[in-house]
């Protein structure tokens, strides 16, 4: 009853004061919604609607049930006309709303309790406003307050400083991302050079680097494989333990087909992926099979030429 009457009041305020009619609504278990048609409600419009609706709540206006025909209701200034015939039922909130409705409602606006707007998002051509009334609004506000307190505690700042702390964190994250983008290729080059030096050049063949990486950034795998494959006749068979990602790469002089190799491995162990003759990547359906997958790939390339 609180949510339904609150919906009537909010819809009336949005239409009468801001020219945004309600085209549909939904009363949920915790949050309800109204869909508004028209220009996007600005933060100022949303705040204005909430303030206006709550002012009417605090005025404790009377809510009356009326009966009559659609024609009679039209002459009385109904908010939304209906095409039904016969005697209809309507709800009137004194001085703000008159709307045909067969649902249950409170008797005075004060019984709605506080109306809390929870957000606004684009839904096709309309704008969906989330709201809660009465006890649900109180519970939502208390939950929001608890969340703000926990976040502020984690960030070691006062609640009113959260905006500034968030901006600082976002700036630090962007700087870290730029640094990571710069450093990862350099790290991959250094580790690839070290790995190839330790592998040496097998007699009668080329080094095949087989390695399972752990706790690496997703983009590092590509940098590392590219750096390894710059070596003459090198074949790199790489995987990531946690995700089951696979990346097979070779120098153009190695003479194998990495895409065909990957497909054979995926056919055996399951997964998806693809690529070119010199560079192919994919992922196993089951990351636990990563070692067996690399063992098979190594044997297909040439077991006599391996360096792990």
pLDDT in tens, 229-276: 998 889 999 999 999 999 999 999 998 999 999 999 999 999 999 999
Residue 162 lies in a domain: no
Question: Are 151 and 187 contained in the same domain?
Answer: no
CATH of the domain at 233: 3.10.310.40
* Residues 12 and 57 sit within 8 Å (Cβ to Cβ): no
Nearest to 9 by CA among 101, 138, 87, 75: 101
CATH of the domain at 67: 3.30.980.10
What one-character-per-residue DSSP string does 268-299 give? Answer: HH-EEEEE-SSEEEEEES-GGGHHHHHHHHHH
3 state DSSP class of 34: strand
Residue 63 forms beta bridges with which residues?
A: 93
Question: Are 151 and 192 contained in the same domain?
Answer: no
d(CA 91, CA 101): 6
d(CA 74, CA 78): 5
Residue 170 lies in a domain: no
Residue 175 lies in a domain: no
- pTM: predicted TM-score of the whole model, two decimal places: 0.65
Residue 167 lies in a domain: no
Question: Are 83 and 218 contained in the same domain?
Answer: no
Nearest to 26 by CA among 18, 34, 37: 34
Domain count, the chain: 2
Question: Are 22 and 151 contained in the same domain?
Answer: yes
Q: Is the pLDDT of residue 46 over 70?
A: yes
Mean pLDDT for 96-108 is 89
Question: Are 105 and 186 contained in the same domain?
Answer: no
Question: Are 149 and 264 contained in the same domain?
Answer: no
Question: Are 70 and 199 contained in the same domain?
Answer: no
What one-character-per-residue DSSP string does 228-254 give? Answer: HTTSTT-EEEEEETTT-EEEEEE-TTS
Alpha helices per DSSP H over 60-114: 70-75
Phi, psi (degrees; rounded to nearest 5) at 197: -65, -40
pLDDT 10s digits, 167-216: 999 999 999 989 988 999 999 999 999 888 876 655 556 788 999 999 88
Report, in angstroms and rounded to the nearest whole number, the Rg of the chain calculated over CA atoms.
33
Q: Which domain holds residue 129?
A: 2-155
3 state DSSP class of 154: helix
């Amino acid at each position: 009853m609180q949510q339904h009457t609150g919906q009537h009041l909010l819809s009336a305020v949005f239409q009468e004061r801001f020219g945004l009619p309600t085209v549909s609504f939904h009363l949920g278990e915790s949050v309800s919604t109204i869909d508004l048609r028209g220009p996007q409600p600005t933060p100022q419009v949303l705040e204005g609607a909430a303030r206006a609706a709550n002012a009417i709540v605090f005025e404790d206006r009377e809510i009356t049930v009326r009966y009559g025909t659609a024609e009679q209701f039209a002459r009385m200034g109904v908010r939304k006309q209906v095409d039904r015939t016969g005697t209809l039922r309507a709800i009137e909130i004194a001085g703000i709303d008159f709307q045909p409705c067969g649902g249950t409602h409170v008797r005075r606006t004060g019984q709605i309790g506080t109306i809390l707007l929870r957000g606004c998002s684009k839904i096709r051509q309309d704008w969906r406003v989330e709201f809660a009334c009465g006890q649900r609004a109180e519970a939502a506000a208390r939950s929001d307050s608890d969340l703000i307190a926990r976040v502020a505690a984690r960030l070691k700042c006062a609640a009113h400083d959260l905006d500034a702390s968030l901006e600082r964190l976002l700036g630090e994250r962007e700087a870290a991302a730029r640094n990571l983008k710069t450093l990862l290729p350099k790290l991959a080059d250094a580790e690839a050079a070290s790995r190839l030096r330790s592998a040496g050049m097998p007699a009668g063949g080329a080094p095949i680097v087989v390695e399972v990486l752990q706790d690496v950034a997703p983009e590092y795998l590509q940098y590392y494989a590219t750096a390894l494959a710059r070596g003459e006749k090198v074949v790199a068979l790489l995987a990531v333990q946690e995700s089951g990602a696979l990346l097979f790469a070779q120098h153009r002089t190695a003479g194998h087909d990495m895409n065909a190799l990957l497909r054979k491995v995926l056919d055996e162990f399951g997964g998806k992926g693809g690529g070119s003759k010199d560079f192919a990547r994919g992922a196993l359906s089951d990351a636990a099979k990563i070692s067996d997958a690399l063992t098979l790939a190594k044997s297909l390339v040439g077991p006599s030429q391996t360096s792990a």
